[in-house]
Structure 1
């Protein structure tokens, strides 16, 4: 086997290992994500429980990075102080070492059972959680298969002089070993994968025991680099936690690096072969760092707070800007504040409609996620406006002010309903289109584009009605209802014509097109409703369409 073939196979084996870790992580998160988050929230009460929680959750997720993200979110939200969050990271590092220790045993014959059992659960499971656990089992089987393939790939080249010379050159300097392993871990985003790879190299005799231990130190250091690099320039709460974890890794590596020779000899005297020696050292190092730093976390936390002071936070798009509590005693001013805040909701709705317009053309999953996130902003603004309006003294309102309060509340509710339709229905249809690779025909895309454009124009008319009481705009807005009703009726007729033709593929695409139009019609109904109060006051609206 040529050197090029060996390198390609090694890269493929490592990629398979990383993908297996990813599948285990996503499977467990989908099956128990909310439970794990609640478990961590309960565990982050003190240092000891946080340490144990971090180790347990990381052992389940197969990734200290995933645990770090959960801990960072708690710290950023202010739900937990820095000390227990850092204790949780110490536990997460121990959890990764436990994973490596478990995978260091020869259980290569088990991976077919994991893959087979996981596939059956994933394909035949009647419950979502069963399918998610099947996904995790497949990932675990792929991890074990990747380790087996790594050993098989390295076996034919054990005696190759070029390979021995290369590794001899790379592993001559402990500091170089540490740097290489740290760079590999940073690139792979997984200390588990890198340590397992180091074990394979050590077991094959390509890396001497002291060099393998130095590379294990590098893997521990590299696992702390990713969160620290990603947190730079962001929230100080995230940067403090990442920097604290990195500091503990650096101090541990500096303290142990000069002692690697004696440590390797001592572990060898215990009868450990090079592969298990690396796994045992990985576990012992993380336990020692945790034991040393668990009592030093309060002063370390104070140092981090001093090093990374609280930054001035940018405006939260979901936080109200104009709902001043001091204005509640003056209803006219309070209503004006509520109107200004409701106009911020119209900006969010406009952004969601434009995003929805883009999604059906581009098929961009990231854009779908952005639009879905905007609905959270809309919900928060609506809740704040509703609470603010309820705090106004109703007895102090004039008849006109009371009517204005009802109009503001109704407009805010309609805007919130528009956001719900976009998030819960339109974006689900967009995700279905992307997942099933359904290509809407050009005429359908043009119609969807045109209806989005009409909705954006109608939203501007609704704003004119809401802010200025424009009667002409209200009348024009009400006439739009018939336009959307006709579009839906025409699309329904075309859809059933395709059903009669028996074209199954066009039927599915036509059904998707019809569902999108129906959702756009629902959105139009909420926007058009803004015109009704003004038209009723002007006696320009019939009470019923019935004759």
Structure 2
């Protein structure tokens, strides 16, 4: 009889643990759905909003609160702000203010979830499904997924509350809770580790509030757990940082939370004495979490400047590698957030354009004098360009495993086309034009003044087009893209004029035409081929922005 009772209790305990784990997993998945969906559908708009509202520390603070309230994830905001600081587009001081605001924003999420919202669960799930199916558009799909995710989080909290009511009566659980009573430091460490594992301080705070409601812990232990959750919430960003510069912001956020937790720890008893009897245990947890973040923001907002300088000295920028073809900005952390990954790919693409510019300059020097070291340098830069192009293509293929919004997918296609065309232009310079320059020189023949003048004209025009291509690509500038396409006619006329004049000068010297004249004509043709690939960068920009192509060129046309 006793064996049967033990068996029943064991099964019951196992079932409760499974229910608890399932509720926590559902809570984390709902949070992930909201953050991922909103970043995929509206990440670019949120990034632009943040970029426009970071002119001073107070605006940065408010932006951090607002964006965290939307994304319901301070970790996502941390990754966003870290990418800006690592790219050099955002100073560290306002970024620290953003994180102070993000910490406050996460408390607003906790307060929202703490209300009795039972009727909202079916309404959110149903409404999210309707919005998702309403229209085949990434914005509607993202909004629908976010609503469903919010409904799942509320459902998880309901399941969690019901499961905890049964768990609180089990001997093992009571023994664990009794072990935490009176030892605030151990309680803090337990919450820290749990938050690090869950990657969500919001979920852990809500779990603590649910536990506190059951009465299995005293108020002081609950507040110590809240402090531990705040420290643990800052750890994932520190661990994921891939460079010294990228570590500055998450380490700064971790230091602020840790210093704040250590400062609050001695006063927990005093806080419980004055506030504990006036509110419920769940309210005490939520309000303390909010007060903690507010106090940290008010104290540290005035020290973001000196604190930023301290972090910059502690984490100096690393020296760049000497290998030209090694990517510098393709951070793996950016693969999880589409617009961060796209920004990383754009930065590397600009490096590929710089390599093409170097190759153009070296090829022109080679036309003026034979120097085998210059030819070798051109081939080395071309190899580096090929390596970098392959790295960017692989990075774009791995980007957005959860899917890309329509605008992000179009931008990824633009980046891909830019990289491919730059690589093809580099191949022409390295394999064809370099060979033509060395062949003429090896025959002890130099390009005459007429030939060099025409090559120089083409060289300058192509460099101008390359700068215009970068402008159209980087700024998504429709006018620059249309101008770039129009310049194809300028190059065609320069080639035709130089070819006619050159043909006239060699009309009577057919032996010279057989070799020297043919080389110059092929040089003209190859320069036009290079320009064709540069101009092709404009077409995806024109297509996406709804412009009109002012010639009959297509992506696959032959030069």
Query: TM-score with structure 2 length normalisation?
Result: 0.66
- Distance in 1 separating the partners of 2:297 and 2:461: 48
Residues 60 and 101 in structure 2, CA contact (< 8 A), matched pair in contact too: yes
1:143 pairs with 2:153: yes
Give, in whole Å, the separation in 2 of the partners of 1:34 and 1:402: 47
1:153 to 160, 163, 185: 163
Whether 2:529 is the aligned partner of 1:410: answer: yes
Greater mean alpha carbon deviation, residues 215-224 or residues 257-266: 257-266
Alignment check: 8 A CA contact 2:99 2:253 kept: yes
Q: Summarize the Cα distance change of 1:119–1:382 in structure 2 as closer, same or farther, 3 Å threshold.
A: same
Out of 256, 281, 284, the position equivalent to 1:277 is 284
Q: 1:376 to 1:283 in 2, by over 3 A?
A: farther
Q: CA RMSD in A?
A: 4.1
Give the corresponding residue for 2:237. 227
Task: Tell me: CA distance 1:151–1:75, structure 2 relative to 1, closer, same or farther (3 Å).
Answer: same
1:390 to 454, 459, 463: 463
Change (3 A) 1:351 1:140: closer
Q: d(CA) in 1 for partners of 2:389 and 2:183?
A: 60
Partner of 2:449: none
Alignment of 1:499-514 (within 5 A): none
Q: 1:125: how far off?
A: 3.0
Equivalenced residues, count = 419
Q: How far apart, in 2, do the equivalents of 1:303 and 1:355 lie?
A: 33
Shift of 1:149: 0.4
1:116-174 residue CA offsets vs partner (Å, 9 max, x unmatched): 11111112335432222111110000000000000000112333333222211134411
- d(CA) in 2 for partners of 1:32, 1:355: 21
Q: 1:303 aligns with which of 310, 316, 325?
A: 310
Q: Which residue of 1 aligns with 2:132?
A: 122
* Superposed displacement of residue 374, structure 1: 6.3
In structure 2, the residue matched to 1:214 is: 224
Say if 1:322 and 1:23 are closer, same or farther in 2 by CA, change over 3 A: closer
Give yes or no for the alignment of 1:241 onto 2:249: yes
1:189 alignment counterpart: 199
- Structure 1: how far apart are the matches of 2:425 and 2:528? 11
Give the aligned partner of residue 26 of structure 1.
36
Gaps of 5+ in 1: 425-521, 531-547
The structural deviation recorded for 1:377 is: 4.4
Q: Residues 98 and 388 from structure 1, CA distance in 2 versus in 1: closer, same or farther, beyond 3 angstroms?
A: farther
Which residue of structure 1 aligns with residue 186 of structure 2?
A: 176
Relative to structure 1, the CA distance from residue 235 to residue 351 in structure 2 (aligned partners, 3 Å threshold; closer, same or farther) is closer
Residue matched to 2:294: 287
Instruction: Give the structure 1 partner of residue 319 of structure 2.
Output: 312
1:421-460 maps to which residues of 2 (within 5 A)? none
In 2, the alpha carbon distance for the partners of 1:63 and 1:251 equals: 22
Tell me if structure 1 keeps the 8 A contact 2:223–2:288.
yes
1:48 CA drift (Å): 0.6
Partners in 1 of 2:66 and 2:273 — Cα distance? 32
Judged with a 3 Å threshold, the aligned counterparts in structure 2 of structure 1 residues 374 and 32 are, in CA distance, closer, same or farther, namely closer
> How far apart, CA to CA, are the structure 2 residues paired with 1:68 and 1:345?
32
Q: 1:95 aligns with which of 77, 97, 105?
A: 105
How big is the shift at 1:66? 0.8
Residues 373-419 of structure 1 deviation map (CA, whole Å, 9 limit, x = unaligned):
76664466679999894259989x9965685264155257559979x
Which structure 2 residue ranges, 5 or more long, are not aligned?
1-10, 328-347, 430-458, 466-490, 503-518, 544-553
**Higher RCO, 1 vs 2 (CA within 8 Å, ≥6 residues apart):** 2
CA distance in 2, matches of 1:17, 1:350: 39
Q: Distance in 2 between matches of 1:351 and 1:229?
A: 24
2:263 corresponding residue in structure 1: 255
TM-score of the superposed pair, with normalisation by structure 1: 0.67
Q: 2:213 aligns with which of 176, 187, 203?
A: 203
Contact residue 322 and residue 338 of structure 1 kept, 8 A: no
What is the CA distance between 1:176 and its match in structure 2? 0.8
Separation in structure 1 between the aligned mates of residue 234 and residue 390 of structure 2, nearest angstrom: 41
Return closer, same or farther for 1:49/1:6 CA change in 2, 3 Å cut-off: same
CA deviation profile, 1:11-50 (whole Å, cap 9, x unmatched): 1001000111111112222332111010000112111100
1:3 and 2:13 are equivalent in the alignment = yes
Q: Partners in 1 of 2:310 and 2:520 — Cα distance?
A: 55
- Equivalent residue, structure 2, for 1:443: none
Give the 3-state SS of the residue equivalent to 1:2 in structure 2: helix
CA distance in 2 between counterparts of 1:354 and 1:223 reads 31
Report the CA distance shift for 1:24/1:247 in structure 2 as closer, same or farther (over 3 A). Answer: same
> Is residue 51 from structure 1 mapped to residue 58 from structure 2 by the alignment?
no
